[in-house]
Amino acid sequence: MKNAFPSLFIAIAVIAAAVLLGKAYNYKHKKNETVSVTGSSFYDFSSDLIVWSASFARKSMEIKDAYAALKEDESTIKAYLKEKGIKEDEIIFSAVNTNKDMEYSYDNFGNSKSTFTGYTLSQTLTVESRDLTGVEKVSREITELLDRGIILSSQSPRYYYTKLDELKIDLLARASKDGELRAKTITENSGSKLGKLQKASMGIFQITGQNSDEDYSWGGAFNTSSKKKTASVTLKMDFEIR
């Protein structure tokens, strides 16, 4: 009978240890349970900055003559833009680009011959303004300079938003609330409670044109062709489940 007591104590100890280990495992397992969600937010806005560019050139056998003609065109273009309401500090002319033009021909034996045909000098003008309507109008009417002998190659206006940093922060805040609501809905429907946020990582920040079929890009689309745009962002979040 005396030998039975030690065996009984050992058995009780083993059972107690097993219970404690089981509780410890369940506690640890429960603490490691998380729910992962992706919050998102969208915001429609209008651009507040327009950038428009056009190029012009002059050609002559003498470089000084081409340069003089190009500078005269620059003065004419600047005066025209100011007449149209564009401010002088919104007009930027690039440095002059010089190209020596050559014409190549071949004889019956395949030998090449080069002939100098003149110098082509070119410049690019860029207008940056917050007057979107005014610059759009100028970009359409710039062909009026053809009557003055100036040939410009005009590009389509590009549209930007100068408060992107503030917009991104606001979108992230909205995406965070959206993600938390999603996580709360999931946990409550499963009979659990939402715990603390464990991890969050920002997804792709996109800017696309409104009412367009523009595709989203894994690298992040950045639309500059549309005046009205839609910004979006995603936020991946991991929450603890209690």
Element at 182 (helix H, strand E): helix 164-189
b/e code 91-100 from CB counts within 10 Å (16+ = b): beeeebeeee
Question: Collapsing DSSP states into helix, strand and coil, what is residue 233?
Answer: strand
Decide if pLDDT at 14 tops 50: no
CATH code: domain 50-158 is 3.30.70.2970
Contact 155, 140 (CB under 8 A): no
Q: How much is the mean pLDDT over the chain?
A: 87
pLDDT in tens, 100-116: 999 999 888 878 899 99
Decide if pLDDT at 219 tops 70: no
b/e code 119-144 from CB counts within 10 Å (16+ = b): bbbbbbbebbbebbebbeebbeebee
Task: Assign domain 34-46+163-241 to its CATH superfamily.
Answer: Protein of unknown function (DUF541), domain 1 (3.30.110.170)
Task: Please state, as a whole number, how many other Cβ atoms lie within 10 Å of the Cβ of residue 19.
Answer: 10
pLDDT in tens, 112-153: 899 999 999 999 999 999 999 999 999 999 999 998 899 899
Contact 180, 38 (CB under 8 A): no
| Boundaries of every domain in the chain | 1-32, 34-46+163-241, 50-158
- Same fold yes or no, 34-46+163-241 and 50-158: no
Query: Strands (DSSP E) along the chain, which ranges?
Result: 34-46, 49-60, 91-93, 97-106, 112-129, 152-154, 158-160, 194-209, 228-241
Q: What is the DSSP letter of 33?
A: -
More confident residue, 12 or 95: 95
Task: Please state, as a whole number, how many other Cβ atoms lie within 10 Å of the Cβ of residue 181.
Answer: 13
Decide if pLDDT at 40 tops 70: yes
State residue 177's pLDDT score: 97
Residues 55-60 have a mean pLDDT of 97
**Per-residue pLDDT band at 212 (split at 50, 70, 90):** confident
pTM score, whole prediction: 0.78
3-class secondary structure per residue, 92-128? EECCCEEEEEEEEEECCCCCEEEEEEEEEEEEEEEEE
Tell me which of 2-6, 116-120, 138-142, 226-230 is least confident.
2-6
